[in-house]
Each structure stands twice: as structure tokens, then as C-alpha cells.
Structure 1
Amino acid sequence: MRRILRLLGVVLLVAVAAVAFGTLVPRPLYSSAADEATPRHILVFTNPIHTDIAVPIDKGVLERFGFLLDAGIEADLPEARYLVFGWGSKAFYIGTPTWSELRPGPVFAALTLDDSVMHVDLAGAVALPQQTVRRFEIDEAGFAAMLDFIDRSFVRGNAGVQRIPEVAYGAYDGFFEANGKFNAFAGCNTWTAAALREAGLTTGWWNPLPVTLNWSLGLYNWPPGPSGDQPGGVQP
């Protein structure tokens, strides 16, 4: 029993050290000088286990992600203000739309190895501030690089992106086959962190949890952006 307790203690210490290292060590270690012109902004939506990136919708974004319109995502609705992107475990993301539907199978898949999906949703106007949403100002080059990263996350076949039929949380969202495998070490929040680094922001070295990602974003990106409301579905 003592050996088991000692082993559990070592595992706990290693986990705490990994989370601390991942949060406190910046990535990249050395940031290049930021462009003082920041004509763009993005939002990061947070819940207890997951983060999404919201991209303001304009003509250029609609043209860039026109394949989503072709796939049935109504991003050109007048009430739509943001395209919201998230990457995650296929079994867990699709199989757990609410906490009441949590089941062992999807949890096990997410903690081991699973295929991944992209979730695309729409948000209307977002009132600021509120704690579950953070706004970041970025330059044009960072914005374009982040869009490239998001675009590369979609699997494409001969017919283009592959929407998963008859799977959605609501009337305005959808799931798509995605590149990469999901596991406990490379999950939804590490995907968000990678996208934000493409945008020119600094994150922690490894951020598997929303709370550690938000800590590192606040630590290394100054001035911090205001908070805002959680997204609601587009209400036509």
C-alpha cells in the first residue's frame, strides 16, 4: 500500500510540474516585435473543458470559408457576426452535446486516442465584458496565418470538406472530419493554443486545459483584451 501511495504521489507531482511548466514557459520563447497596427480582433470562448476561436465575419472571411456555405453553414445570415471554430475528439465532441449525456465510452476515447472533428458554429453580436470570452487584437499577417491554420485542419476529399451528416448541436452549426488524432496530451485546447500562436500571440508551452491556456494568455500578451459574453446561437 505504501508503494502504491508513493507511486501515486510521484505521478501527481509530475502532473503538477508538467502543468506548471506548460503554463509558465512561453511559446514561442522569444516573440518578434509586434506590428503596432492591429486592424483585426478575434475572440476566445471558454467553458470548463473546451475553448473555441471566434472569427469576425466579413466579405474576405466569407470568401475564404465559402466551402462552409456550400456545406450548409449559413455564415452569410445578416445576424451572424462570428464564425466559431473548435477542434476536438470525434467520439466525445459528437457524443456529448450536454453534460447529462456524458458516457464512459466517449470519455475513454478522448483520454486515449480518437479521430478528430472540426465543429463550426455561428455567433451573433457579443457584448463585452464577461469572463467566459476574451478579445485579442492582432495584425493582418497574424490573422491570415491563423485562418490558414484553421483551414488546414479540415480534411478534404475529392468533393472538398467532409461534413458529418445529421450531426449538430443546433440549427446553425455542424461537424466536419478533421486532420490529426486527438488524445489527452494533444487535445482541443492545445489546438486553440497553436492557432493563437499562428495569430502572433504567446501561449504557454503546453496548455491542455482552458484555465492554463487563459493564464498563459494573460501572462504573456499585454495589454490583455477585455472579456465578453458567451456566444449564443444566431437568432434570425
Structure 2
Amino acid sequence: MMRVLRRLLAVMLIIVGAVAAGALIPLPLWSQAAEDNGGETRRILVLSNPIHTDIAIPLDADTRAAFAFLERSGVPVAEAGARWMIIGWGGRAFYLETPTWGDLKPMPVFRALTVDSSVLHVDVTGELDEGHPAVTALELGAEEFERLQVFIRQSFAQAPDAVAAIPDAGYGPYDRFFEAKGAFNALIGCNTWTAQALRASGVRTGLWNPLPQTLTFSLKLFN
């Protein structure tokens, strides 16, 4: 029994050490921030809950045009009252079947802890409380903001003539799910995708970010 307990303790210490190292070791190691030439910056938001992060993109004429293909799939990015587009990546079974904790079921949890195909969830909303503790605001230059948009667009799985919307999949009237690139598992999950998207735009994050808490900690630490 003591041998089993020691092994369990060793595994737990390894996991804790890996999570801590993932948050404290930056990627990239050295800051690659572009020189500030006084150009306009764009504010994006990282939205967190206990297990998941999303990226919020401000909606204006340029971003509405860049993501106009979503309008054809039922996401009203051109709606006058829409101020933010919220995008997240995750495991298909858990994401589609768990809109609230009350909908939690064993099979989606099992798929999330093993391997699942991935989806993107896209929603639009009005004003957001940028001072909320679950919101992290970041300022991007024009080039950095464009790289973020490119990364997001390239995360969609492409149908022959458009992105592949999942029929009748959404939590409400303004959001939709789409087939996405990549496989989901507990080690490479929704928060690691958020970190990859941010790094594509030049934002430094921790090396490995399986949890929202470690990702937001690293964002504040390195930026």
C-alpha cells in the first residue's frame, strides 16, 4: 500500500511540476514585440471560466469583412448591436453536449480526457465588462492583430465552398459550432489553442497552458 501511495504522490508531483513549469517558462523565450511606432492598437480580450478560455475580437468594418463568411452560416457578425465576436476551440463531444454544468454526462467527459475531434464555437455579443476578473485585455498592433485573425481563420476545417458549420448546433440564436482542425485531448485542449492563437499574434504565454488559471497568470507575467 505504501508503495502505491508513493507512486501516486510521485505522479501528482510530476503533474504539478509540469503545470508550474508550463506557466513559468515563456514561449517564445525572448520578447519579440514589434517596435512601437505610434500606430493604432487593437484591444482583444481573453475570457476565462474555471475550465475554458475564449478570445473576443472587436467587431468593426474590417473584422466584419474578414469574418463575413460566418454570416452565411448564421453568426450575425454584421448585426449593428454586435460589438464582440467570441471564439473558442474545444473537444466535439464535451463542447456540443455540455452547454451548462447541469448537462454534464459521463461520455463527453471521457472523450475530453482521452481523444476527440475538435470544433470551433463562435458567438457575438454586445458590450463586455472589461474590468471583470475573468477578462484579460491585451493590446495588439495592426500586424499582430492581422496574424491573430489569420490563425483563427485557418483553424476552421474547410468544406468544398465554405467553412463546415455543424447543423443545428448552438447554445442560442446567435452562436454556431464549426468543424475545426486538430484533435483534442486533455494535454492539448482549449486553453492550449488559445495560447497558440495569442502567440501567433506575438503575445508571450507560458510554454504549456492546460488550465485557464495558468494561461491568464502567464499572460500577466510576460506581457
Q: TM-score, normalised by structure 1?
A: 0.91
Deviation at 1:38, TM superposition (A): 4.8
Q: How many Å separate the matches in 1 of 2:178 and 2:61?
A: 23
Q: CA deviation at 1:33?
A: 3.7
Structure 2 distance, partners of 1:79, 1:89, is 30
Which deviates further from its counterpart, 209-218 or 58-67? 58-67
After the TM superposition, which of the residue ranges 8-17 and 28-37 deviates more from structure 2?
A: 28-37
**Counterparts in 2 of 1:1-236, with a 5 A limit?**
1-36=1-36, 37-221=39-223
Deviation at 1:115, TM superposition (A): 0.3
- Alpha-carbon distance in structure 2 between the residues aligned to 1:158 and 1:97: 29
Task: With the length of structure 2 as denominator, give the TM-score of the two structures.
Answer: 0.97
- What is the total number of aligned residue pairs between the two structures? 221
Amino acid at match of 1:85: I
Partner SS for 1:126: coil
Where do 5+ consecutive residues of structure 1 fail to align?
A: 222-236
Cα distance in 2 between the residues matched to 1:98 and 1:127: 21
- Report if aligned partners of 1:35, 1:139 keep a CA contact under 8 Å in 2: no
TM-superposed deviation, 1:158? 0.9
**Which runs of 5 or more structure 2 residues have no equivalent in the other structure?**
none
Q: How far has the Cα of 1:8 moved from its partner? A: 0.3
Aligned-pair CA distance for 1:127: 2.9
CA deviation map 1:204-228 (0-9, x unaligned):
000000000011001000xxxxxxx
- Taking the aligned partners of 2:90 and 2:221, their CA distance within structure 1 comes to 25
Q: Which amino acid aligns with 2:25?
A: V
Per-residue deviation, residues 83-110 of structure 1 (Å, max 9, x unmatched): 1100000000001000011011000101
